Amino acid sequence: MKKKQSLVLDKEDEKLVKLLTDLGMPRNLSKTLMYVCQVDECKSADVEQGADLRQPEVSIAINELREKGWVQKRNLKKSGKGRPIHIYKNTMSLSDIIQTFEQEKLKEIETIKDDLSELKNLAQHR
């Protein structure tokens, strides 16, 4: 039997995951993102092993990353019958993804500021 080595997230990756999580990104999503952004292509099983996640967690995270346009999927046909293997690849650099994430968060901050301002205004008139 052949021993297969897989890439795993290191301490620096875990720091990035923690920061993204602290900023509101779900942990499974940030771990999946960190893994996918550091390999050319991968299968969900690679992400499971490398990011220490379960299959359903990876599946949900990959779907969300695809919805955001940060990851794309292609099918690799196997010989014979059976389902094709899904191969995932990031569509943007990690820096560009973080910049997009930053814009989302800044928009949220503006919404919170507006809501707080309206709350204060309404409370003053009571």
Q: Distance between CA atoms of 97 and 91, rounded to whole angstroms?
A: 9
pTM, whole model, 2 decimals?
A: 0.84
Q: Looking at residues 10-33, what average pLDDT do you find? A: 94
Q: Is the pLDDT of residue 3 over 70?
A: no
28 exposure class (CB count in 10 Å sphere: 0-12, 13-18, 19+):
buried
Question: 26-57: per-residue pLDDT in tens?
Answer: 999 999 999 999 999 999 999 999 999 999 99
Return d(Cα 25, Cα 20) in angstroms, integer.
5
Domains in the chain, start-ordered, CATH in brackets?
11-92 (1.10.10.10)
Residue 62 identity: I
